[in-house]
Structure 1
């Protein structure tokens, strides 16, 4: 036997199953064939193995105002929790566990994170909490979030729990098109919001992170109701088709323009912005086809609108567009928005306007630390500023460039 072979024989790895691995493993093993309606009691059963009780699963509603309880066997179904003023809301907004001492123990609220998109909050009560409990519950919450997202494809129950009022057909079509509302990585973060959540029709956004390039689009189809939703569906489909063919922004615009014109004729159009961000260098490129100029935010202050040569809305047969460029600094945020935000007004009043929008974002730019908190806070604050009036679709889409590398993420520490 060689010295190297002898050394290999001396290396031993403990592969025995500890309590935590067994708990999570049982949940994972049983979840594969578990129908959606039995996910809740399975979670409650596994939480009970570590002494947990009074389990609740709270899901974010479409308005992003409350956390709605998911009904299910062995789950505690209480009243909805307001995101802005509840312990569950604190956990949701901070994406970090919150512990609330009670007479009979400690109520823990754990964010349910699917990647970086927040599904909701897992709430559970224990007699006491130590670091082992915290570690195990944090990992359990991550597994629960993945299970909810996976099973959501097979059931309407989660959708029904999140829906707090009737939703139009057009809005359901739009919500089915959307990617996750939030994506956070060490190098870049994005968050978007649509309003009115239950009646949106023509507004949409999309993004994809392919290697070091973040592709983004914000779309506003003309009209209202089902016609606008169908037009937006074709626009998003054309955008994704061209994006996946890896064409440049100018070619992407031309492809979308042809698709809309051939399908709907010259009387239909879509305003849009299509963007690309190199997350390694901070180099931003975009084409503006009829949208308000995006805002460059640095240190929570609006530095400037990103003015650019515009081109005709998609579907009008515009010339090959000029691609605009901007070098970002680490920590810069870019806020994209549709004209529904600036053209809205109360009866008899002037439109909200881009200047007022810019000033308001400048004042409220410190709302929340994360992109999700900021875009959600801005949307709700702007709604209040407009007196709750929303007669047109409105979209906010925020991207933050952090830079750096992700090399450390591929190293597994044992």
Structure 2
């Protein structure tokens, strides 16, 4: 008897749910309904039309350029296309780096800058003006920006339009290969965040990084293929491809190293190599496993200061047929950052002909650590540009930074609807 009443109550509750289309659903639903058939060049104009429909004007879609210096307006009908906005010292840049909405009062309304986030990967910024802004406007526009970001990333897979908007100077063939190889430059979940930067953005050849979050394990790799140009890009492509294959088939770091080593040796012979760092981070506990194959040791940053190098027994670079590497284990504390970098950072020659060096790198990190933090990704970008200035703008070799920030905890509650 009780069971029948329970079923009847569920049926009544189901029947009492209001399924009529509200205003917000109509706005977002139009984008969803048309997304499947919408050609890439019409995505941004449709978004602009949606914004106009809720009282907005002067809509701009700004995408991050490859050097991570500018936010570049996407051209298109019904869009306001102005000058690129600097990442530093602009309202759009602040919204982008903080991942938060920025509102700027004006004489005739409020200019809003909403970050375009695909999951947690930063795509760009949507800018628009409203006469006045209320909480309903903020909620609807945040959701519209999230949907717009997802659509831009999806359509980007089969168009060059967004690439051409983001490219601010000629790009080498090797750099195009490397950019197509990379995962999103940033990823953030409550337990862990990662971010990476490649320099020189338009001429990079042999440096790359890769990562994947599988259950509670963050898999990460940073590589540096010997040489320059297409040869280096080809080696990096094989190394990352072999790493991804091993990651999806095997478990241990030594197996990944062995698989990459065999792939490089078979394809390029005994005179070619790739240095690499391979890591597993348990995002629940902070346990870090590290294999170092001829790479500079990562730096452990705590409270803005470099605490120490994360040492490990260094094995031979990938491709030289080294023995099975030994794994070094480290334990992270909440808020710790691990910075990996390639030798192009410290081997670049500065005034007087001396190498930039690890000590100068550490001094730069510690100096920036004394300033207020804008979040890991903004801090890494600031470090990259600071290092470039310290090198007097010189980047004759690939110079890559890759950072992991660990927070720990659990995320199961995110799968439970309130």
TM-score interval (norm. to shorter): over 0.9
How far apart, in 2, do the equivalents of 1:267 and 1:277 lie? 32
Task: Tell whether the 8 Å contact from 1:105 to 1:127 is kept in structure 2 after alignment.
Answer: yes
Aligned to 1:66: 70
Q: Is 1:345 aligned to residue 356 of structure 2?
A: no
Distance 2:318 2:124 in 1: 36
CA contact (8 A) 2:97 2:374 kept: no
Correspondence list, 1:103-182, <5 A: 103-182=107-186
Q: Which residue of the other structure, out of 377, 382, 388, is the alignment partner of 1:377?
A: 382
What residue number does 2:192 align with? 188
Does structure 1 residue 91 correspond to structure 2 residue 95?
yes
Give the superposition deviation at 1:365: 2.8
Q: 1:22 is matched with which residue?
A: 26
Alignment equivalent of 2:277, drawn from 273, 276, 279: 273
Q: Distance in 1 between matches of 2:35 and 2:343?
A: 44
**1:398: Cα distance to partner?**
0.4
* 8 A Cα contact 2:364 2:386, kept in partner: no
Distance in 2 separating the partners of 1:146 and 1:66: 21
Partner of residue 221 from structure 2, selected from 209, 217, 222: 217
**Match of residue 40 from structure 1:** 44
Distance 1:349 1:22, change over 3 A: same
Q: Out of 390, 398, 405, which is 2:403 matched to?
A: 398
Q: What's the secondary structure of 2:169's corresponding residue?
A: coil
**Are 2:252 and 1:248 equivalent residues in the alignment?**
yes
In the TM superposition, what is the alpha-carbon distance from 1:82 to its structure 2 partner?
0.3
Kept after mapping to 2: 8 A contact 1:366/1:374: no
Residue aligning to 2:204 = 200
| Structure 2, gaps ≥5 residues long | none
Q: 1:297 aligns with which of 297, 301, 306?
A: 301
Aligned to 2:360: 356
Return the alpha-carbon distance in structure 2 between the equivalents of residues 400 and 268 of structure 1: 33
Residue 349 of structure 1 deviates from its aligned partner by 2.1
- Cα distance in 2 for partners of 1:60, 1:291 equals 29
Q: 2-side partners of 1:5 and 1:307: how far apart?
A: 61
Note the alpha carbon deviations across 1:278-321, whole angstroms, 9 max, x for none: 11111000100111111111111111111111011111111111
CA displacement at 1:99 relative to structure 2: 0.5
Residues 68 and 162 in structure 1, CA contact (< 8 A), matched pair in contact too? yes
Which 4+ residue blocks in structure 1 deviate beyond 6 angstroms? Answer: none
Counterpart of 1:4 in structure 2 is 6
Gaps of 5+ in 1: none
Residues 240-278 of structure 1: CA deviation (Å, up to 9, x unaligned)? 111111231111111111111111001100000000001
1:324 equivalent in structure 2: 328
The 1:5/1:343 distance shift into structure 2, 3 A limit, reads: closer
How far 1:231 moved relative to its partner?
A: 0.7
Q: Distance in 1 between matches of 2:378 and 2:171?
A: 24
Deviation by residue 1:175-226 (Cα, 9 ceiling, x = unmatched): 0000000000000000000000000000000000000000000000000011
1:261 aligns with 2:265: yes
The alpha-carbon deviation at position 369 of structure 1 amounts to: 3.2
The structural deviation recorded for 1:14 is 1.2
Q: How far apart are 1:9 and its partner, in Å?
A: 4.1
Cα distance, 1:7 vs. partner?
2.4
CA contact (8 A) 2:368 2:383 kept: yes
Q: Following the alignment from structure 2 to structure 1, what is the Cα–Cα distance between the partners of residues 351 and 404?
A: 33
Q: How far apart are the structure 2 equivalents of 1:142 and 1:62?
A: 21
Q: Is the 8 A contact 2:294 2:317 kept in 1?
A: yes
Aligned with 2:412 (options 384, 393, 407): 407
Deviations 1:375-397 (A, max 9, x none): 11110000001110110001100
Change (3 A) 1:98 1:312: same
Task: State the alpha-carbon separation in 2 of the partners of residues 219 and 5 from structure 1.
Answer: 58
- The answer to whether the 8 A contact 1:275-1:285 is kept is yes
- Tell me the TM-score normalized by structure 2: 0.97
Aligned length: 413
